[in-house]
A and B are shown apart, each in its own frame.
Chain A
Amino acid sequence: MNGVAVHEASRRLGTIHVPSVTLAHGGGGKAMRDLIDDVFVRAFANDHLDVGSDQARFDLAALAQYGERLAFTTDSYVVDPIVFPGGDIGMLAVCGTVNDLAVGGATPLFLTCSVIIEEGLRVDTLRTIATSMAVAALRAGVCIVTGDTKVVERGACDKLFINTAGIGVIPAGIALDIGTVRPGDVLIVNGYLGDHGATILAARGDLAIDAPIESDCAPLGDLIAALLRAAPRTRFIRDATRGGVASVLNEIAVASGIAIEIDESETPLRAPVKGFCEILGLDPLYLANEGKIVAAVPPDQADAALDALRAHPLGYDACAIGRAWAGEAGRVTMRTTFGGTRIVDMLVGEQLPRIC
């Protein structure tokens, strides 16, 4: 990857022989070429990658068969720990960017992969992560077509940072817009909430809580395509990553000038995630997800949307969690199982565990 290292298909790939990455692997010379060859090119191998030039090139006519508008997005991944139950930073870097394309209705097609490696990272760890990126790309139906590799001194980054940018194509007739949600529209999620956020907190190891939770990290392009086929008048979809479902609902309520009420008893939470949040005083509605969307669907298509989601392996536990209504614009409330109502506000910063 990175200009010099995009390869002729016929060239023999270099091999890395040391156990960990050093500054020499970022120097632009043979060591870097070997690292890129051995770790990334081997894992990502595809027609677009193996072209000896500074950039990946696409035939516009070939893209046009997918639709009429390009979607372009980027995201950086700095998760700690880099490997966690249910995934790793590589899988996240592919799924996250794919999902950012897919929620706009785009068919995700191509990704870039830029890595910033802290010296000392074990090569086999890097290999595992590159492999899981390749597997996730295969699942998502995208190709990783170009990239960049930097190695920085110890302490200048935390083990490994990845940036991926993605290109997708939006089919004709799809115009999802956060400002179009109307009173009566149904808010739907495709399954259990908070799994990723709880997993990462637990996996950091400083809580001494051993919870049977896994990240929900998954590419959602296929699921979203199925949803849009079944409910073509879906107003808006967003993946509920940082800030959780609560933040997405608030963004929708503000942008569309409507109120939203959700029902606690309809909010799908796994028992271990619920318990984890109870112990730490966290609110699962604000925990990050990496395989969950919030979709706003007009009432007459809500059943079709739910059926389509539930027919898909990544939407088996889909639920309608609430409705938009003509209340105070921008206000999100929740009917509690206890019989009261409370406001679900935007979070100020990160959620901090409470003292007692």
Chain B
Amino acid sequence: MKYVDEFRDGERAAILEREIRALAPRLPRPPGRALQIMEVCGGHTHAIFRYGIEAMLPPELELVHGPGCPVCVLPMGRIDDCVAIAERPEVIFTTFGDAMRVPGSRKSLLQAKGDGADVRMVYSPLDALALARANPEREIVFFALGFETTTPSTALTVLQAEADGIANFSLFCNHITIVPTLRAILEGGDVNIDGFIGPGHVSMVIGTTPYDFIASAYRKPVVVAGFEPLDVLHSIYLLLRQLVEGRCEVENQYARVVPNAGNRTAMAAVERVFETREFFEWRGLGSIDGSGLRMRDAYAAFDAERKFAVPGLRVVDPAACQCGEVLTGAIKPWQCGIFGTACTPEAPLGALMVSSEGACAAYYRYGGVPAAAGARG
């Protein structure tokens, strides 16, 4: 298939694999540990597992699967709020498919649907708006989640609803931003990330300049990467080149999609509808300052949090979960005490087992490395 097969070409992959292995002996050797590269985005994690990329890398190098899976980092309390809204008789609750199975403290949206709540899977916030038009007697709530990748489409949908005078549509806003979270990870205690594979589609919106501080203040290289397997492999190569040459720069491997300045129109729409929350709770990582968005007062009429009294209770992550340590690279998924036993994709306890982009689910499903396979045994 055109524009897909070119980026999955085995021969080109073999060339990159050789180049990466050739760089390996010249890489800096941090004492007592492997060199760690974090891929921030869940989409990259997915590609790494789906195409078996870890097995192509030299043993000196370790990939850390970062916090960029918006479904995984949703805290239980927010899912409880979703369920509470969805269970109101007047509400049609709309959501992206992969949020359906995320466990709340009582139940998931899938279970709520089974129990009679009107929960519908949509593929775009505009589908939810169309439902609002078609069902004027019902309240349509869209479960808005995701990083900067999805925020502009939500913002534009709200602006469309405002322009069309649609009063029975609102958002349950859980949009989050990646930069404060990267900062929190870099400032965290025993974190040893040596370089970052930067988000691709987030950067399509915000550009590459927001990552400059990682290179300048923290002296870590960043390569913004596409999501095809060759993109990922190429980005790893570019990162290793920087490490070998002692450079710390923000490079753009995904220039075919990501303009360095981002998309100003999209950012303006986001700016108009949303503002930064003081803090937002992340599953596995805890509360992070300035990492979430809420609706501005001017759009209060479209804010489900204000329209419906949501419980808004904080639910602590299960004590046995070590998601936070996995997310920051302190341990590997299979080193978690409950990986594959109390926590499986069928009955996920921890956030990272929930979505196919979660590192634990990916290890469990694709068993990318022998160690993980052994742990599953």
Contacts and interface: CB of A to CB of B under 8 A. Distances in A.
Interface of A: 206-208, 271, 274-275, 278, 280, 328, 336-343, 345, 348-349, 352-356
Nearest to B372: A343
Given A275-B1, A337-B10, A355 B98 contact: yes
Given A354-B357, A355-B146, A340 B56 contact: yes
A342 B366 contact: yes
Contacts of A342: 49-52, 366-368
B98 A354 contact: yes
B356 interface: yes
Nearest to B347: A348
Interface stretch (B121-129, B259-267, B281-289, B295-303): B121-129
Nearest to A280: B123
Interface string B1-28: 1001100111001100100000000000
Nearest to B200: A356
A355 B99 contact: yes
In the complex, which of the residues A341, A345, A356 has the most CB atoms of chain B within 10 Å of its own CB atom? Answer: A356
B345 A348 contact: yes
Instruction: Give 5 nearest A-B pairs by CB, closest first.
Output: A340-B52, A352-B97, A353-B97, A338-B51, A355-B96
Contacts of A280: 123
B346 interface: yes
Nearest to B70: A355
Contacts of A206: 122-123, 127
B123 A339 contact: no
Contacts, number: 96
A338 B52 contact: yes
A339 B70 CA distance: 29
Given A338-B53, A348-B345, 19 more contacts: A274-B1, A275-B4, A278-B1, A336-B8, A336-B50, A338-B13, A339-B10, A339-B17, A339-B52, A342-B51, A342-B52, A342-B367, A343-B365, A345-B365, A349-B101, A354-B357, A355-B96, A355-B98, A355-B150
A88 to B, nearest CB: 24
Contacts of B167: none
A274 B46 CA distance: 17
B55 A341 contact: yes
13 contacts: A328-B373, A336-B50, A337-B8, A338-B10, A338-B13, A339-B52, A340-B56, A341-B52, A342-B368, A352-B97, A354-B355, A355-B71, A355-B150
A354 B100 CA distance: 11
B70 A352 contact: no
Contact of B13 (A339, A348, A352): A339
B97 A356 contact: no
A345 B70 CA distance: 23
Contacts of B367: 342-343
Contacts of B147: 356
Interface in B332-371: 345-346, 355-357, 364-368
Given A338-B10, A338-B52, A342-B366, A353 B345 contact: no
Q: Interface residues of A: mostly helix, strand, loop or mixed?
A: loop
Interface of B: 1, 4-5, 8-10, 13-14, 17, 43, 46, 49-53, 55-56, 70-71, 96-101, 110, 121-123, 127, 145-147, 149-150, 201, 229-230, 345-346, 355-357, 364-368, 373
Nearest to B120: A206
A338 B229 contact: yes
Contacts of A337: 5, 8-10
A350 to B, nearest CB: 9
A275 B3 CA distance: 10
A274 B145 CA distance: 27
A284 B340 CA distance: 26
Contacts of A328: 373
A349 B96 CA distance: 16
B43 A207 contact: no
A356 B150 contact: yes
Contacts of B99: 355
A348 B101 CA distance: 11
Contacts of B201: 356
Contacts of B346: 348
A168 to B, nearest CB: 35
B145 A355 contact: yes
A352 B14 contact: no
A346 B50 CA distance: 15
B362 to A, nearest CB: 10
Nearest to B10: A339
A354 B356 contact: yes
Contacts of B146: 355-356
Given A278-B4, A339-B56, A345-B365, A352 B50 contact: no
Contacts of A207: 123
A355 B149 CA distance: 10
B366 A343 contact: yes
Contacts of A348: 345-346
B280 to A, nearest CB: 17
A340 B55 contact: yes
Nearest to B47: A338
A184 B98 CA distance: 38
Contacts of B121: 352-353
Given A278-B4, A345-B365, A355-B146, A339 B43 contact: no
Contacts of B8: 336-338
In the complex, which of the residues B46, B50, B149 has the most CB atoms of chain A within 10 Å of its own CB atom? Answer: B50
Contacts of B70: 355-356
A354 B17 contact: no
Contacts of A340: 51-53, 55-56, 229
Nearest to A328: B373
B363 to A, nearest CB: 10
A208 B124 CA distance: 10
B13 to A, nearest CB: 5
Nearest to A334: B52
Contacts of B123: 206-208, 280, 353
